[in-house]
Amino acid sequence: MAETEHRPTNFIRQIIDKDLANGVHTSIKTRFPPEPNGFLHIGHAKSICLNFGIARDYQGSCNLRFDDTNPAKEDIEFVNSIQQDVKWLGFEWDGEARYSSDYFDQLHGFAVELIEKGLAYVDFSTQEAMREMRGTLTEPGKNSPYRDTSIETNLQEFAKMTAGEYPEGHCSLRAKIDMTSPFMCMRDPVIYRIKFAHHHQTGEKWCVYPMYDFTHCISDAIEGITHSLCTLEFQDNRRLYDWVIENITIDCTPHQYEFSRLNLEYTVLSKRRLIQLVEEKHVAGWDDPRMPTIAGLRRRGYTPGSVREFCLRIGVTKMDNMVEMSMLEACIRDDLNVNAPRAMAVLEPIKLVIENYPEGESETLTAPNHPNDESMGTRNLNFGREVWIEAEDFRESANKKFKRLVLDKEVRLRNAYVVKANRVEKDAEGNVTTVYCTYDADTLGKDPADGRKVKGVIHWVDVASGEPAQFRLYDRLFNVPNPAAEDDFVDAINPDSLIVKSGWVEPGLPGRVPEVGSWQFERTGYFCLDKDSTPEQLVFNQTVGLRDTWAKIGD
């Protein structure tokens, strides 16, 4: 798609420009560090586009590193989905994917180095005692009774921890920093804890695991990361990041910079909540098209270019804000409006019988694939005596504003003839099921000869050749702009977020899936084929409507 051409600028790129100009760095290295404990979401896409985009624009490189220090919550399924999603977004990481667990040996060595320098100690205090000694934001903490244990003893105790001689929770290794620091994360943070867990990369090798804050900065340094970009909640932790790097022997000094997370209206972007939606089956899975996951967006019909464009448009700042869903939808709509071929589908069919069209006959009409782009070519459409039209495109009576089919009035069938409605047939409930009409055979590709003006145009599908299809129409997943702020976000789920309709599409669509993945079903919206399609029934997901219907919310 036509992505914003210019290189974006933001405060992080300005820092990089300065570092390059001042010779602080001669090349740029970034990383994207997901924890493999869930699927990636659109917030991660912001981080991916930032990190990989910088690497691309500065001829640097970007690593993909799985931050896998919490084996209990992690899974290889997530490792695989994350790699797939990053690739789908159009980015390539430098070399092989990396894992923090690749560095467990080195991390352990650095922990020993800190102990040897008198900068770490094994603490046997209970969790509760530790919490009490920690102090609060307004009160300083207190030193642990284990804080002054000799280096010798600490080395022995850490070796015992590592050898599995203590049960989980019995003790932990803490950095010896400052229990009176105004930054809580500097009050002797735990850097290693005991966990008897199977790890998806290292198996049973370890029963002690390094904490995130200790692991992240060292992994950055080992990989030679120059600019370590993360979200604002890690702002305070930057002190600890720098402290660790300063106090270990490593010849690389990465720097951490923080930017604001993406928050998107009417959805949630926290893995904890997304996991809950999946596990409690409020959605059909991680790739449910209503999910804000990359996998969900992909299944919904978003293109990689539209997601990248969205990330460009929202920009990168230090200001927390809530982005409107319509921003995201505008990006895919702009893409598909230009690049999606047109087709016809009827979502809620009633039958139109053309009484003066010879029975048993049919003809082949030609329709352009895009009204403004001849290069997209044309396709053949079968036309015969019976076609499906939308129930909502017909009324027995209506005022002039209704530019569709009305009894005794004329309308044009898109890419075909002008028809006039004569009479209807109804079911027991009084719903119109069939409209009988006559067509003007002299109106194919031209106005009626006698100067009659026919303004309305409706779409249709040939009954004889149309294929049955299910249409899944999606609305916002939550009823409130900020579900995370609710007591229980699950209560704010929109019960009408999925509406299923059964109708007809013109034939042959699965055989000509467009490059952008979606078609514009004329007058209806953008749709892509879903993986639930079978030879008996096609299934289409509505990617996005033709217009911004979000603007109406709150009416």
By CB under 6 A, name the one of 13, 16, 29, 47 that touches ligand ATP: 47
d(CA 66, CA 223): 13
**Partner whose binding site includes residue 186, from ligand ATP, Mg ion, none (CB under 5 to 8 Å by kind):** none
Binding residue for ligand ATP, selected from 230, 240, 297, 311, defined by CB under 6 A:
230
The smaller minimum CB distance to ligand ATP, of residues 42 and 354, is found at 42
Proportion of the chain in helix, strand, coil states, percent, rounded to 5: 30, 25, 45
Q: Which CB, 69 or 470, lies closer to Mg ion? A: 69
Secondary structure (3-state) at 15: helix
Q: Are strands 61-66 and 98-99 parallel, antiparallel or unpaired?
A: parallel
Report the length, in residues, of the chain. Answer: 555
Q: Which is nearer to Mg ion, 40 or 336 (CB)?
A: 40
- From the candidates 147, 195, 261, 379, give the one annotated as an active-site residue: 261
Task: State the nearest-atom distance from the C-beta of 490 to ligand ATP, in Å.
Answer: 17
Pair 20, 14: CB distance under 8 Å: no
Contacts (CB under 6 A) with ligand ATP, residues 241-270: 261-262, 269-270
In 127-190, which ranges are continuous DSSP H helix?
A: 127-133, 151-163
Q: Residue 276: enclosing H or E segment and its boundaries?
A: helix 271-279
Within the chain, what is the greatest distance between any pair of CA atoms? 105
Closer to ligand ATP by CB, 149 or 231: give it.
231
Q: Which is nearer to ligand ATP, 115 or 230 (CB)?
A: 230
CB of 533: closest distance to Mg ion in angstroms? 36
Residues 33-92 that bind Mg ion (CB under 5 A): 35
Select from 402, 413, 423 the least CA-distant residue to 443: 413
**From residue 353 to residue 392, what is the string marking binding to Mg ion with x (rule CB under 5 A)?**
----------------------------------------
Q: Give 355-384 as a DSSP string.
A: TTSPTT-EEEEEEES-TT-GGG-EEEEEEE
Name the token pair of 462. Answer: 């040939």
133-136 contacts at long range (C-beta below 8 A, 24 or more positions apart): 133/179, 134/179, 134/184, 134/187, 135/179, 135/180, 135/187
Residue 269 interacts, among Mg ion, ligand ATP, none and using kind-specific CB cut-offs from 5 to 8 Å, with ligand ATP
Min separation Cβ 259 and ligand ATP, Å: 7
Q: How far is the CB of 34 from Mg ion (least distance, A)?
A: 8
Q: Figure out which of the listed residues 174, 176, 193, 271 binds ligand ATP, where binding follows CB under 6 A.
A: 271
Handedness of CA 12, 18, 21, 23 (dihedral sign): negative
**Contact between 214 and 222 (Cβ < 8 Å):** no
Cβ 444 to ligand ATP, closest distance in Å?
Answer: 53
The residue from 19, 35, 334, 348 that contacts ligand ATP (CB under 6 A) is 35
Give the whole-angstrom CA distance, residue 51 versus residue 44: 10
Stretch that binds ligand ATP, among 31-39, 54-62, 363-371, 523-531 (CB under 6 A): 31-39
Least distance to ligand ATP, CB of residue 199, Å = 17
Round to whole Å and give the CA distance between 56 and 49: 10
For residue 218, CA distances in Å to 158, 363, 521 come to 19, 71, 52
Question: Shortest gap between Cβ of 67 and Mg ion (angstroms)?
Answer: 7
- In the three-class reduction of DSSP (H, G, I as helix; E, B as strand; rest coil), residue 293 is classed as strand
**Could you tell me how many residues of this chain bind ligand ATP (CB under 6 A)?**
15
CB-wise, 262 or 387, nearer to ligand ATP?
262
List the one residue from 43, 296, 466, 517 that touches ligand ATP (CB under 6 A). Answer: 43
Residue closer to Mg ion, measured from CB, 149 or 270: 270
Find the shortest distance in angstroms from Cβ 84 to ligand ATP: 15
Residues of this chain, 132-151, that bind ligand ATP according to CB under 6 A = none
Give the residue with the Cβ less far from Mg ion, 43 or 466.
43
| Out of 16, 28, 39, 44, the residue judged to bind ligand ATP by CB under 6 A | 44
The residue written with tokens 């080992």 in the block is 222
Give the number of other CB atoms < 10 A from CB of residue 163. Answer: 10
Q: How near is the Cβ of 455 to ligand ATP at its closest, in Å? A: 47
- The yes-or-no answer on residue 29 being catalytic is no
Shortest distance, position 525 Cβ to Mg ion, whole Å: 36
Among 16, 33, 162, 193, binds ligand ATP (CB under 6 A): 33
| Secondary structure of residue 78 in the 3-state scheme | helix
273 binds Mg ion (CB under 5 A): no
3-state SS of 413-479 is ECCCCEEEEEEEEECCCCCEEEEEEEEECCCCCCCCCCCCCCCCEECCEECCCCEEEEEEEECCCEC
Identity of the residue, 19 or 35, whose beta carbon is nearer to Mg ion in the bound complex: 35
- What is the x/- site pattern for Mg ion, positions 6-35, by CB under 5 A? -----------------------------x
The binder of 218, among ligand ATP, Mg ion, none, by C-beta within 5 to 8 A per type, is none
Residue in this structure with the two tokens 């919206």, named with its chain if needed: 525
For residues 390 and 379, give the distance between their C-alpha atoms in angstroms, rounded to a whole number: 22
Stretch that binds ligand ATP, among 43-51, 85-93, 115-123, 340-348 (CB under 6 A): 43-51
Q: Confirm whether 35 is a catalytic residue.
A: yes
Q: Return the closest-CA partner of residue 307 out of 9, 69, 89.
A: 89
Residues noted as catalytic? 35, 261, 271
Catalog residues that contact ligand ATP under the rule CB under 6 A.
33-35, 43-44, 46-47, 67, 230-231, 261-262, 269-271
Catalog residues that contact Mg ion under the rule CB under 5 A.
35
